[in-house]
Structure 1
Amino acid sequence: MSGPATDDIVVDHLTKQYKKLRAVDDLSFAVRSGRVTGFLGPNGAGKTTTLRMLLGLVTPTAGTATIGGRKYVDLPDPIRRVGAVLEASSAHRGRTGRNHLRMICKAAGLPETRADEVLELTGLTPAAKRKFKGYSLGMKQRLGIAAAMLGDPRVLVLDEPANGLDPEGIRWMRDLLKALAAEGRTVLVSSHLLGEMQLLADDVVIVAAGKLIRQGPVDEVLGSMGTSQVRVRTPQAAELGDALSKLGATVSPQPDGALLVGGVEAAAIGHAAFTASVELHELTPERGDLEQVFLQLTAGMAGIR
């Protein structure tokens, strides 16, 4: 098994120009092994183009995208190194899921038994003998992941893998990808489901108009935008609001009677309440919201390309 550093993805000053359209513009970021990295951006941000360049399907105008220091086309036995899903799996309509996977195994020199192993991994064993034409979109997504896992790769690259999955399927995907990352694999996931990405990802890379907007651990990105808030309950909401306004805090009453306070830490709220002789029933810091951060960072940049 290769060491963790050899499984990192590095995008270095990557650019793709299509005549008058610059789909990716001098983009640089790294995806570390043992972590799930969310790749986020509005429609037209250049995410899919970036992934296609990483996988050798599109030639960059400039820059490089490497896996373990090598371009995808230079990887020996790539099916054992990288698994990818760029769209829902496609297969012959009259072929069963199991036979579809067995054909890939045969072409790649993998044992046919691996097909049954990945069917079990992706929860498709009950549908193994069903023909592809009877698969739902969610089942096709699972089949695509099963195909990506045939070579037991150290690196996974997934573009919108939750499309077509119901809530149970989305939770299954989250648990699977977290487990794979915990084994030391490198997992890069593009998705529009920001709430799910906040639960799934360790790190995020946010792009817009082909350029890098922000990258880093999820908690750091959320913290850098000042999105943390504190939930407060008090029978003296008006008095507390007056005290907090003097500190420059924002106070938003909630339908359940609580207050969401931004701009100050919980300790400062507690001190202000004590000074104003206000009784507190709850003082709970709340984690920021990735959707809120995303919209702030990419405001006005969707659909402009």
Structure 2
Amino acid sequence: MTGPTEIIVDRLSKQYKQLRAVDDLSFTVRAGRVTGFLGPNGAGKTTTLRMLLNLVTPTSGSATIGGRRYLELDEPIRHVGAVLEASSAHKGRTGINHLRVICRAAGLPSQRADEALALVGLTPAARRKFKGYSLGMRQRLGIAAAMLGDPRVLILDEPANGLDPEGIRWMRDLLKTLAAEGRTVLVSSHLLSEMQLLADDVVIVAAGRLISQGPVDEVLGSMGAAVQVRVRTPDPAKLTQALAQFGPSITPQPDGALLVSGVEAAQVGHAAFTAQVELHELTGEKADLEQVFLQLTAGKAGIR
């Protein structure tokens, strides 16, 4: 695939009888960046990815890769790599033979199987049978299969499922490296803390509709500079009384600290100073992706 490899979803919708799985959804995934595709269960993420890969026919709208629909691509394996679930293979076939079969079918040189296994760290398990692979190993094998054609676009649905912390960090490093090479990387995930570390951009959906999109820092910034203040004092009752004028939400923590929402750290400090309340800790905590996600999608998930 030459030229831009942006993914463009334009007013995409999918209706299943009484269920509107995806509703007039539009967003862009840029090359050279990792884009996190986030939403509650039933938000329409997997349906969107399936429409992008022409596994599901849209009711209306379009989804293109480099300006073309997936089914219009010549030798799509050389342009787009996708993993929508843990890799599936014949239980008695080894990992390397599984990839060689795909190479043969796609007209790719057999050495690409060895290169892809090395890329995902499965070379030591190359000759182990698939039935002996853990879920995490199957995820790696799926990514190896997706990378056989050295594609410029990578689409992954929950790729960290089954990976241990070391495997999740490996996944993060791999996807960042692939994006740094100029590839377009779209990742659907429920691991919000990991997405904050991995993604350059996020697309947040709920009930099939777009809720927010943009660079991670901008999405976080849209919810305000600090959503909570952590404060510790030997006299929490007196501090709570001093803060009552602001109408904040105050939540005691197991370690004795208070989490104060609805006021800035400077206001907490000034109220404590005026009331002569001794403070041992005063920290403004910025919104993280999980907090922003929950605020943006509150009451919008629906039952799908």
2:185 corresponds to which residue?
Answer: 187
1:269 corresponds to which residue?
Answer: 268
Distance 2:193 2:31 in 1: 23
1:54 partner amino acid:
L
1:61 corresponds to which residue?
Answer: 59
Q: Does 1:218 align with 2:201?
A: no
| 8 Å contact from structure 1 (residues 222, 228) kept in 2 | no
SS at match of 2:204: strand
2:238 corresponds to which residue?
Answer: 239
Residue ranges of structure 2 left out of the alignment (5+ in a row): none
Distance 1:294 1:262 in 2: 17
SS at match of 1:246: helix
Per-residue CA distance 1:40-62 (angstroms, 9 max, x = gap): 22222211111011112222111
What TM-score results when the alignment is normalised by the length of structure 2?
0.90
Where do 1:2-21 residues align within 5 Å? Answer: 6-21=4-19
Q: Structure 1 220/228 Cα, relative in aligned 2: closer, same or farther at 3 Å?
A: farther
Where do 1:274-293 residues align within 5 Å? Answer: 274-293=273-292
2:212 partner amino acid:
R
Shift of 1:28: 0.8
How many residues are aligned here?
Answer: 303
1:151 corresponds to which residue?
Answer: 149
Shift of 1:301: 4.2
| 8 Å contact from structure 1 (residues 244, 269) kept in 2 | yes
> Which of residues 167, 171, 176 in structure 2 aligns to 1:169?
167
Distance 1:188 1:123 in 2: 21
Per-residue CA distance 1:46-90 (angstroms, 9 max, x = gap): 111110111122221111111122211222332222110011111
Q: Structure 1 90/2 Cα, relative in aligned 2: closer, same or farther at 3 Å?
A: same
SS at match of 2:242: helix
Distance 2:33 2:248 in 1: 35
Where do 1:26-37 residues align within 5 Å? Answer: 26-37=24-35
| 8 Å contact from structure 1 (residues 86, 158) kept in 2 | yes
Where do 1:27-106 residues align within 5 Å? Answer: 27-106=25-104
> Which of residues 109, 112, 116 in structure 1 aligns to 2:110?
112
Shift of 1:125: 1.0
- Of stretches 162-171 and 273-282 in structure 1, the one that deviates more from structure 2 is 273-282
Per-residue CA distance 1:168-212 (angstroms, 9 max, x = gap): 222221222222223332211112223332332232222222222
Shift of 1:112: 1.9
| 8 Å contact from structure 1 (residues 232, 280) kept in 2 | yes
Distance 1:116 1:92 in 2: 18
Distance 1:292 1:120 in 2: 37
Shift of 1:300: 4.1
1:256 corresponds to which residue?
Answer: 255
Q: Structure 1 241/223 Cα, relative in aligned 2: closer, same or farther at 3 Å?
A: farther
- Of stretches 9-18 and 245-254 in structure 1, the one that deviates more from structure 2 is 245-254
Q: Structure 1 266/159 Cα, relative in aligned 2: closer, same or farther at 3 Å?
A: same
| 8 Å contact from structure 1 (residues 43, 303) kept in 2 | no
Shift of 1:2: 5.3
Q: Structure 1 272/32 Cα, relative in aligned 2: closer, same or farther at 3 Å?
A: farther
Q: Structure 1 220/134 Cα, relative in aligned 2: closer, same or farther at 3 Å?
A: same
Q: Structure 1 252/223 Cα, relative in aligned 2: closer, same or farther at 3 Å?
A: farther
2:303 corresponds to which residue?
Answer: 304
Distance 1:62 1:170 in 2: 36
Distance 2:246 2:2 in 1: 53
Where do 1:196-207 residues align within 5 Å? Answer: 196-207=194-205
2:118 partner amino acid:
E
Q: Structure 1 218/113 Cα, relative in aligned 2: closer, same or farther at 3 Å?
A: same
SS at match of 1:180: helix
Per-residue CA distance 1:108-136 (angstroms, 9 max, x = gap): 23222221222122111111001112212
Q: Structure 1 249/182 Cα, relative in aligned 2: closer, same or farther at 3 Å?
A: farther
Q: Structure 1 193/65 Cα, relative in aligned 2: closer, same or farther at 3 Å?
A: same
Per-residue CA distance 1:193-245 (angstroms, 9 max, x = gap): 23332332232222222222222233333343457222223334333333333
